[in-house]
Amino acid sequence: MSAGPVTVPAIRARKGGTPIVSLTAYDYPTAQAIDDLVDFILVGDSLGMVVHGLPTTQGVTLEMMAMHGKAVMRGAKRALVVVDMPFGSYEESPEAAIRNAMWLMRETGCSAVKLEGGTEMERTIRFMTERGVPVLAHVGLMPQKVAMMGGFRTQGRNTELADKVMRDAEAVSAAGAFATVIEGTVEPLAREITEKIAIPTIGIGASPACDGQILVINDLLGLASDYMPKFVKRYAETSATIREAVSAYGEDVRARRFPGPEHCFGVKKG
């Protein structure tokens, strides 16, 4: 990894090279902890579900994204920071999309935004990138569109759906996105897309052949979730650690072992 800040051109240039490492983050301490370990941090609208307890990402607002984006930017000094554009903030028109994207970038100081959609968003992505707004695209399974997709279903399982995902990936690449997330897509198709399009692919539930990988950090850490998608590898069981610590704290309080003299002010030693 380079010592200097990671840039949009640097991510774009990683096509076919050393895999890109990325994670979500939603707050200052998490961003600070992972900043030098990843290439880019995504302030994902997944925060609606994993932080705020919403049933889907559709209730997330621009103001929520800005609040979390600013917190992450305070902790990230090296990693590229990308902020998700939430549902309803970019679909209306290219003009509305760039207005909201520019507001989000000004409010947070982030380097790029992410939006979901393929062929239907090609004109919008081109409009934004031609005017200096870097866009990370997102194809395959699109959480903001789960109602239309019939739920969180793996994409590309038949020829018709596979052709659509391929067309979407080709469209966002041609439109000027600097990279694209491929989510919840059958492995052979994600591999084929990676080989075919000119921009880096970032897989989540896709293929090891992708140019990089991303996970929701709460899933990676095993934090506050009983459900683990097939594509997640848990590297820690943080919920269990938290419960153990809080249980020990509760026992100490009830037994009056905490606070001790060393935790109090004005107590004479010896």
Binding site for Mg(2+), residues? Answer: 45, 84, 116
Bridge partners of 213, per DSSP, are 21, 203
Catalytic, 183? Answer: yes
Binding residues for 3-methyl-2-oxobutanoate: 45-46, 84, 114
Count how many Cα atoms sit within 13 Å of the Cα of residue 65 in the half-sphere of its side chain: 33
The Cα–Cα gap between 47 and 139 comes to 19
Active-site position among 183, 244, 251, 262: 183
- The structure tokens 């929701």 sit at 216
At 22, which helix (H) or strand (E)? strand 20-24
Q: How far apart are the first and last CA of the chain?
A: 52
Q: What are phi and psi of 32, to 5 degrees?
A: -65, -40
| 259 prior amide bond cis, ω within 30 | yes
The Cα–Cα gap between 247 and 238 comes to 14
Catalytic residues: 183
